[in-house]
Structure 1
Amino acid sequence: MIDPESLGRRLHELRADRGLALTALARQAGVSTSMLSAIERGEKTPTVVVLSRIADGLGLSVSRLLADLETDRVIVRRAAEQDHVAEPGGWHRAVLTPVVPGVNFEWIRTTLPPGCDAGRFPAYAPGSHEFVAVESGELCLGVGEAQYVLTAGDSVYFPADVGHSYANRGEHPCVYSVAALIMRPRAA
């Protein structure tokens, strides 16, 4: 397991070695200054996506960024440690998975209120994959130009290298999980 305080110290050292101000790295990484500051203080554990952005901002791979920080091969992420995000439009998502060095995998549980459109997501890099399982309600999933209506118990796989969208056009909340392996091209 990676200790958040050790990760924070490592990020601070790497940023300082490069002579980067907190705001400069935040801008290069595409994350908020407050998020980066909380990670450096060991108060917040970043998601895989955020960690990948920070690594890119530092010109490193995620595995190089996390080198020598892993103390245990089993990583437990307690419910209280999960990132919960309230999105515009009233929908909510929770990132369930812990950060694992070198693995671009996330498992996200989302709740869409009735009539909510979560929007369209851009195509990810080739080799990216998404698996979606609907727990309750009705999910309208767009993959490229195709539309699929999924209900409780349904699941689907699609290569995530095309634009995709999620919406709940039903009268009840929709709860679904996304397991995503997202490939990201690395900056030189």
Structure 2
Amino acid sequence: MTEPTDVAGTQAVAEDDADLRASDRRLGECIRAIRSSRGMSIQELGRRTGLSSAMISQLERGLTTPSIRSLRLMSQAMGVPIARLFDSEPALLASPYIVRKAERPFLRLTSSGVLKELLSPRRDGVVEHYELTISPDGASGSDFVTHEGHKAGYVLSGRIRLWLDQLPYVLEPGDSFLFPGTLPYMFDNPGKEPGRLIWFSVRET
């Protein structure tokens, strides 16, 4: 006797995989377009970021997804806010000041276990803010990062472990933080359920 198959579940997984591949392709196209507009070769971008040329090539072809750290390194090397990497053709918003939930651009960083949704209506402003959903065992990356400006956030649900200058702080719903971007940091989810938080990046003017 054959086991029954979950046709609807299988179809849903296939659709999710197709969405992820499409998202990876859009991200890769956006990275390539910005790099080309800067007159920068893959080798030059690799030298500036410390990422291998092979990795960047795979990213641009949509064959893999970057970590948040890799996105940050590429945005800094190309001189653009990280929000510019969310979509090659941003949707027109009904208002320059409002972002409806259904209009949010997002990046699903499957290798990091992070879903990053852009909440800012502008992609070139001083303040960028996001809603991050971090899967259990998900993380911003394997290394600490630093950059100019400040970081701030507020935990909505689950547990988030924020590492600041090698020290871990486990944050729960209602906890918040603010620190200079020059302080080495990373974050991960040590819990058994997804963690959600609002994350702010404030650039120096």
Q: What is the rounded CA distance, in whole Å, between the counterparts of 2:203 and 2:34 in structure 1?
A: 27
Q: Which runs of 5+ in 2 are unaligned?
A: 1-32, 46-55, 62-73, 81-94
Residue equivalent to 2:103: 81
Pairs within 5 Å for 1:1-188: 24-25=36-37, 28=40, 56=79, 75-87=97-109, 88-99=111-122, 103-119=125-141, 120=143, 122-125=145-148, 128-183=149-204
Show structure 1 runs of 5+ residues with no match.
Answer: 1-20, 35-49, 58-72
Shift of residue 183 of structure 1?
2.9
Per-residue CA deviations over 1:87-134 (Å, capped at 9, x if unaligned) read 023321101101166x32111110111122222452112xx1111110
One-letter amino acid matched to 1:169 = P
Greater RCO, 1 or 2 (C-alpha within 8 Å, sep 6+): 1
Letter in 2 for 1:24: S
Deviations along 1:137-185, one digit per CA (max 9) or x if unpaired, are 110001122211100111111111122111001111100111110238x
Query: Could you tell me whether the CA contact under 8 Å between 2:136 and 2:194 is conserved in 1?
Result: yes
Aligned-pair distance for 1:53? 7.6
CA distance in 2, matches of 1:170, 1:51: 30
Distance verdict in 2 for CA 1:161–1:98, change over 3 Å: same
Q: How far apart in 2 are the matches of 1:26 and 1:171?
A: 42
Q: C-alpha distance in 2, partners of 1:22/1:118? A: 23
Question: CA-atom RMSD, angstroms?
Answer: 3.6
Q: Distance in 1 between matches of 2:156 and 2:34?
A: 40
Structure 1 residues 157 and 124: CA distance shift in structure 2, 3 A:
same
Once residues 52 and 23 of structure 1 are traced to their aligned partners in structure 2, the CA distance between those partners, rounded to angstroms, is: 12
**What's the % identity of the aligned pairs?**
22
Q: Secondary structure at the match of 1:118?
A: coil
Question: The residue matched to 1:169 in structure 2 has which SS?
Answer: coil
Question: Following superposition, which runs of at least 4 residues in structure 1 exceed 6 angstroms of deviation?
Answer: 29-34, 50-54
| Cα separation, 2, equivalents of 1:81 and 1:26 | 28
Query: Residue type of the partner of 1:77?
Result: V
- Structure 1 residues 167 and 81: CA distance shift in structure 2, 3 A: same
> Under a length normalisation based on structure 2, what TM-score does the superposition of the two structures give?
0.53
Distance in 1 separating the partners of 2:195 and 2:108: 15
Give me the whole-angstrom Cα distance separating, in 1, the residues matched to 2:96 and 2:161. Answer: 36
- Considering fraction of residues, name the structure with more strand: 1
